Chain A
Amino acid sequence: MHLPSASPRPSIYYNYQVFKPWLPTENGTQEKKKVVIVGAGPAGMVTALELARHGVASVVLASDLQFSQGSRAIVFTRRSMEILQQVGVAHRITENGLPWHCGNSIYRGQKVFRMETPIDPDDRFFPMINIQQQYLEEYLHDACEANPLIDFRWGNKLVHAEQAAGNVTAHVDTPAGPYQIETEWLVAADGGRSEIRSAMNLKLEGTSFESIFVIADIRIDLPYPTERLAFFDPDWNRGNTILMHKEPHGIWRVDYQLPPGETPEEALRPESLQARIDAQLKMIGFEGTPWEMDWSSVYSARTLTLPKYVHDRIVFTGDAAHLLPIFGVRGANTAFQDAQSLGWHMAYVVKGNAPEQLMQNHSDERVGAAREIITEAGKSTRFMAPPSRGFRLLRDAVLSLSLTEEFVRPLYHWRTSRPHEYKHSALNSLSDDNPQFTGGPALGAPPQNVQLQTDDFLLDHFGGGFDLVYVAHNQSIPKDLLQAVGQAKKSGCPLKFLVISQKNVDVTGADKTLYDPQQRFQIRYAVSAGGAYLFRPDQHVCARWLQLDASRLLSSLQLALMQ
């Protein structure tokens, strides 16, 4: 019998709701499911919402009866917000989060590096926004609850999963005892300590760094703007690094590295936490300012990934698939990209729009993304937490030089999470004009948002399938192109035909005319009339033409669906 705690988790700012468990005794016989998702964190819920957006139902199993403990992931990137916009929760994060775009590196009391990420008027979202993970989970859960295609089951713990050809049996335990679900696909979104991964004896590849970091959330009134603060080698914690981030509700995240040899248990003792937080406050000039502890935890930097995410009908996603270092906000932000990719690939296979081989493409693309992130994050990690004597000497030499020498300061750059470009994707068109383009997002790249008019952005109009964005010439669309779009739709390919027009009049044949008086799309995408971009359901470019024609559109769509 699985008996998750029914007492609300402690928090000084978040009111935990304890949900009622889903009990097999109160529900009838279970028919075979299309998809069962194990884990109700950001990766699991975004996967469910993406699947639903493409018309595929899923069951989400949440082991606990409430959202996760502590603030956990607190920094969300613009790309994450673009993904969350698609599943309908970005506006709630915008309403309640703290947006920011500057980071500061401080050494011996001097600001040795300041990174200011520009704010592009063509972007709807800030480069970064901070909000505690409980809120993100709450918003995602609200969206899941409102969606008839998502069957959310609190208090359901997966005990064992076994697969036979085309079928997975999930053995689930609940407060009313065990039951089984048969499903075509099972998504393991069960986090960094994935029990499904362990049970299948799958090994992560990569490096674990020895340094241990403490995360502590405190409520304190500090007169700083929302910016990232990184303190290197302070007097109270020689050789180590301290990070501070502002969160909503007057909460500050203090993140510090432990001296070698100290255990997590020692570090999390209240006296130890108090002494270090007091020392940090003293260093920044706020000794004696009252503060209150909310939550603390420890982590170590790891750059690990499974070499493949799709294992027959069991698919790993988010932290269950890879463990990425916290530097550069790569945990949840990578999970959103995983889930967005997984959602459409799996939905198209389940619905029969594409062969099962498409799932292999998902695995190849996302493993590639994880490996790129690992390379990038490895550089940050070697600077933030040097893994050897040599790396420590070099880091210390750079700290020392940075007080007077400009040229080393860019080494403080912290290489924020950015979306992977699927440059070598098997879905990229072989019959487009990609090499002839002089600008704009290339094949495989994520989209560049465009502000068409005040508060009206290109990506607001995307969603639900492939998006073909075509620049109209004289308010008209060639007949053979219209026929090709019709033919693709008739063959079952979810395709939205968005037509850019300089006039505020609907273009005949368009699913939607996008009024772009300033020709922003043409500028940002380096196309003129007759040109077009084809976006996959995850908004990445899979074909682009300086002049679109019907046959090249159809062949590119077929390739993207592996038909």
Chain B
Amino acid sequence: MNSTYTLDIAGLEQVYDRLATAIDEAGPEKSELFLVKLALLNAKAMGQPDLFEAQVEAALKDL
């Protein structure tokens, strides 16, 4: 990951709010599709399949 970018509290709060409103915008029937699209775009921006796998493992915990 590019170490020059970090997510500070203000940034995290911005993401938190935008993701929440976007899920509401997509609506209950399309929110899952929206999240998968977003995950693919994030994976593209990240460019590191191994890091993506690590994130998948982290996200699968404690569901």
State the A residues within 8 Å of B (CB): 393-394, 396-398, 400-401, 405, 407-408
Contacts of A394 in B (CB 8 A): 36, 40
* B41–A401 touching, CB < 8 Å: yes
Contacts of B36 in A (CB 8 A): 393-394, 396-397
How far, in whole Å, are A478 and B44 apart by their CA atoms in the complex?
58
Contacts of B41 in A (CB 8 A): 401, 405
* B33–A396 touching, CB < 8 Å: yes
Output the nearest chain A residue to B39 by Cβ-Cβ distance.
A397
Say if the beta carbon of B13 comes within 8 Å of chain A. Answer: no
How far, in whole Å, are A16 and B37 apart by their CA atoms in the complex?
52
Q: A396-B36, A401-B41 are in contact. List 8 more A-B contacts (CB 8 A).
A: A393-B36, A394-B36, A396-B33, A397-B33, A397-B36, A401-B37, A405-B41, A408-B40
Contacts of B44 in A (CB 8 A): 405, 407
Contacts of A401 in B (CB 8 A): 37, 40-41
Contacts of B33 in A (CB 8 A): 393, 396-397, 400
Top 7 nearest A-B pairs (CB, nearest first) are A397-B36, A397-B37, A393-B36, A407-B44, A401-B37, A396-B33, A397-B33
> Which of chain B's residues 6-57 have a Cβ closer than 8 Å to chain A?
32-33, 36-37, 40-41, 44
Output the nearest chain B residue to A401 by Cβ-Cβ distance.
B37
Output the nearest chain A residue to B44 by Cβ-Cβ distance.
A407
How far, in whole Å, are A95 and B60 apart by their CA atoms in the complex?
58
How far, in whole Å, are A396 and B36 apart by their CA atoms in the complex?
9
Contacts of A397 in B (CB 8 A): 33, 36-37, 40
* A398–B32 touching, CB < 8 Å: no
Output the nearest chain A residue to B32 by Cβ-Cβ distance.
A393
Contacts of A393 in B (CB 8 A): 32-33, 36
Output the nearest chain B residue to A394 by Cβ-Cβ distance.
B36
How far, in whole Å, are A393 and B35 apart by their CA atoms in the complex?
10
Tally of chain B residues near chain A (CB < 8 A): 7
B62 to chain A, nearest CB (A): 20
Contacts of A405 in B (CB 8 A): 41, 44
Output the nearest chain B residue to A408 by Cβ-Cβ distance.
B40
Most chain A CB neighbours (cut-off 10 Å) among B32, B33, B37, B41: B37
How far, in whole Å, are A408 and B32 apart by their CA atoms in the complex?
18
A382 to chain B, nearest CB (A): 15
A18 to chain B, nearest CB (A): 55
Contacts of B32 in A (CB 8 A): 393
A512 to chain B, nearest CB (A): 51
How far, in whole Å, are A448 and B49 apart by their CA atoms in the complex?
35
How far, in whole Å, are A407 and B36 apart by their CA atoms in the complex?
15
Contacts of A396 in B (CB 8 A): 33, 36
Output the nearest chain B residue to A389 by Cβ-Cβ distance.
B32
B36 to chain A, nearest CB (A): 4
Contacts of B37 in A (CB 8 A): 397, 400-401
B48 to chain A, nearest CB (A): 15
How far, in whole Å, are A367 and B10 apart by their CA atoms in the complex?
58
A25 to chain B, nearest CB (A): 68
21 contacts between A and B (CB under 8 A): A393-B32, A393-B33, A393-B36, A394-B36, A394-B40, A396-B33, A396-B36, A397-B33, A397-B36, A397-B37, A397-B40, A398-B40, A400-B33, A400-B37, A401-B37, A401-B40, A401-B41, A405-B41, A405-B44, A407-B44, A408-B40
Output the nearest chain B residue to A396 by Cβ-Cβ distance.
B33
How far, in whole Å, are A397 and B33 apart by their CA atoms in the complex?
6
How far, in whole Å, are A398 and B44 apart by their CA atoms in the complex?
12
B55 to chain A, nearest CB (A): 16
How far, in whole Å, are A138 and B52 apart by their CA atoms in the complex?
54
How far, in whole Å, are A380 and B27 apart by their CA atoms in the complex?
30
A285 to chain B, nearest CB (A): 28
B35 to chain A, nearest CB (A): 9
How far, in whole Å, are A400 and B37 apart by their CA atoms in the complex?
8
B56 to chain A, nearest CB (A): 12
B39 to chain A, nearest CB (A): 8
A178 to chain B, nearest CB (A): 60
How far, in whole Å, are A405 and B37 apart by their CA atoms in the complex?
10
Output the nearest chain B residue to A397 by Cβ-Cβ distance.
B36
How far, in whole Å, are A397 and B35 apart by their CA atoms in the complex?
9
How far, in whole Å, are A339 and B36 apart by their CA atoms in the complex?
44
Contacts of A407 in B (CB 8 A): 44
How far, in whole Å, are A290 and B40 apart by their CA atoms in the complex?
43
How far, in whole Å, are A401 and B43 apart by their CA atoms in the complex?
13
Contacts of A408 in B (CB 8 A): 40
Output the nearest chain A residue to B37 by Cβ-Cβ distance.
A397
B38 to chain A, nearest CB (A): 9
How far, in whole Å, are A408 and B41 apart by their CA atoms in the complex?
9
A65 to chain B, nearest CB (A): 54
How far, in whole Å, are A389 and B41 apart by their CA atoms in the complex?
20
A389 to chain B, nearest CB (A): 9
How far, in whole Å, are A408 and B38 apart by their CA atoms in the complex?
13
Output the nearest chain B residue to A400 by Cβ-Cβ distance.
B37
How far, in whole Å, are A397 and B44 apart by their CA atoms in the complex?
14
How far, in whole Å, are A401 and B39 apart by their CA atoms in the complex?
11
How far, in whole Å, are A409 and B41 apart by their CA atoms in the complex?
13
How far, in whole Å, are A400 and B41 apart by their CA atoms in the complex?
12
How far, in whole Å, are A394 and B33 apart by their CA atoms in the complex?
8
How far, in whole Å, are A408 and B33 apart by their CA atoms in the complex?
15
B44 to chain A, nearest CB (A): 5
Output the nearest chain B residue to A411 by Cβ-Cβ distance.
B40
A408 to chain B, nearest CB (A): 7
How far, in whole Å, are A396 and B40 apart by their CA atoms in the complex?
12
How far, in whole Å, are A398 and B43 apart by their CA atoms in the complex?
13
How far, in whole Å, are A396 and B41 apart by their CA atoms in the complex?
14
How far, in whole Å, are A109 and B19 apart by their CA atoms in the complex?
30
Most chain A CB neighbours (cut-off 10 Å) among B33, B40, B41: B40
